[in-house]
Structure 1
Amino acid sequence: MSMTLLHARYQILQTIRIPIAVIGSAFFPAASMLFFVVPATGDDPAGATYATASMVVFAVMISNLFGHGVGVAEDRAQPWDPYTRTLPVGPWPKFGGRLISGLVMMLVSLAPVVVIAAVATPARISAVGFAAAVGVVVLVSLPFSLMGLAIGYLLPTKAALAVVQVVFFPIAFAGGLLSAPGKAPGFIETIAPYVPSRGAVELMWAAVGDFRPSTTSLIVFVLWSVVLAALAVFAYRRDEGRRFR
């Protein structure tokens, strides 16, 4: 555990030493709140709360897909990465450290979204609901963290950046993140339960309001998490086998 925390500390320090990396991960969700959510919510507290929950999942996806997908690919190109692979500690401390550091940076990137919702919209949530939402944020980040890790270990930096950009918005749109609960176009409502973003946003809606998640969405969310975990481990071992055999 101490080695895992050491790797996490290293990754966090590496990120915050480049402030634009932190600012960039928080900018797009905050800008989306300002330009799309704030003008549209009016005096509807429930609608504003659900829209904020959707933007939180949006930020979770951005932070983890770009942070892990592009970040891991960049790290693999540095001489420090192959050196750490030679140390007699196994892959799990480094793997776990990346997940922890990604979680910390994700929570930092969510702060502007929460502040904007509190001061510029009628969104309201109880202390219990807020605590539940924080726990759900950690849970729903899992498949996107694993997806980012898989992309980062499978592809070089330029390819990883392109793939993240290509897959990010379709997953967000197909999951109904850009619509209120039950208000997405018909074809989106049909396909939404089968993408991981839908289960994630339904769990967030349930945490902040009176919403009951679909059983199908939750089952698919778990299946995506399991498959992406296996893919991330495969990608790590494939990269290790190619570079260190």
Structure 2
Amino acid sequence: MKAFQMQCKAEIKRVLRNRYFVFWSLAMPIIFYYIFTNVVNTNAPDPAGWKAHYLMSMTVFSVMGSSIMTLGIRMVQERAQGWSTFIRITPLKDSVYFAAQMVGQSMIHLLSITVIFSAGAIINGVSLTPFQWIMSALWILIGSMPFLAIGTLIGMMKKVETAAGISNVLYMVLAVAGGMWMPLEIMPKVMQNIGHWLPSYNFGNGAWAIVQGGAPSWKNILILIAYLVLFMLLSKYIRRKQEVM
């Protein structure tokens, strides 16, 4: 247990020292949030509702990016530097090592959620009930699990350049097609049909429902669980194949 705690602390410190994380996961979502709620005229019929909705979008956008890119690329860098090989000859179990990475990343997500929520309250005076703030934060924190699993899949790649390119494309596609940058309802029908089954849309939709006074639907929950199981099984299968090779 002590080894697990120490590894979690180490993972958190490493992420916070990463300027890439600070820019893409904290600064960029806040900049986008300001632009699309104060600069661009979206003609939203309910400006206050739109500001709360888009705050959730940018928070989800931040956590998705941190899960897919920060975690995934860091794992590839560790493999390239021989860190993963070194871990195998220490008493620290692989399962503890990977669990510590995911828990450490989740703690970073909690920081991102706090910072971006605070930015929304300061920039636009977003006012939600304590229950809505807490439930939306919990939903975003727990709902990030499938994207952490995607991060571990990215981490199976051999080259940092390949991982960075694929993770960037995947991140942006999921964000746009999942309705993070603009509501899915204004997109073409084909895009809407695809988007409703993506993990990004179901992740965001749960948070949007909470700020509207509702709750995530069972469809949102089941789809995210299905993606989590799928990505975890793929990650485990690929890791075993790599160990054999």
TM-score normalised by the chain length of structure 2:
0.88
How do 1:108-147 residues align onto structure 2 when only pairs under 5 Å count?
A: 108-147=111-150
Equivalent-residue separation in structure 1 for 2:54 and 2:154 (angstroms): 29
Deviates more, 1:157-166 or 1:122-131: 122-131
C-alpha distance in 1, partners of 2:66/2:34? 18
Correspondence for 2:53 = 50
Partners in 1 of 2:236 and 2:130 — Cα distance?
A: 37
The one-letter code of the counterpart of 1:83 is: F
Q: State percent identity of aligned pairs.
A: 21
Distance verdict in 2 for CA 1:183–1:214, change over 3 Å: farther
Taking only aligned residues, the RMSD between alpha carbons, in angstroms, comes to 2.3
- What is the rounded CA distance, in whole Å, between the counterparts of 2:20 and 2:195 in structure 1? 33
Structure 2 unaligned regions, length at least 5 = none
- Cα distance in 1 for residues equivalent to 2:93 and 2:153: 18
Given the alignment, which residue of 160, 163, 166 partners 2:163? 160
Letter in 1 for 2:160: T
**Residue of structure 2 equivalent to 1:35:** 35
CA–CA separation in structure 2 for the residues paired with 1:106 and 1:116: 15
The residue aligned with 1:8 is: 8
CA deviations on 1:97-125 (whole Å, 9 max, x unpaired) are: 00011112223333442222112224221
Aligned pairs (5 A) from 1:100-115: 100-115=103-118
Change (3 A) 1:218 1:188: farther
Unaligned runs of 5+ in 1: none
Change (3 A) 1:118 1:14: same
Matched, 1:241 2:244: yes
User: Deviation of residue 183 (structure 1)?
Assistant: 4.3
Q: 1:194 is paired with a residue of what secondary structure? A: coil
How many positions carry a matched residue from both structures? Answer: 242
| Equivalent in the alignment of 1:205 | 208
The Cα shift of 1:83 comes to 1.1
How far 1:128 moved relative to its partner?
A: 1.0
For the 8 Å contact 2:140–2:207, the answer to whether it is kept is yes
- Separation of aligned partners in 1, 2:185 and 2:27: 28
Deviation, 1:182, is: 4.0
Look up the match of 2:233: 230
CA contact (8 A) 2:68 2:148 kept: yes
Deviation at 1:29, TM superposition (A): 1.1
Report if aligned partners of 1:47, 1:123 keep a CA contact under 8 Å in 2. Answer: no
Judge conservation of contact 1:25–1:62 (CA < 8 Å) in 2.
yes
Cα shift readout 1:181-214 (whole Å, capped 9, x = no counterpart): 7444433321112110011011111222234545
Amino acid at match of 2:8: A
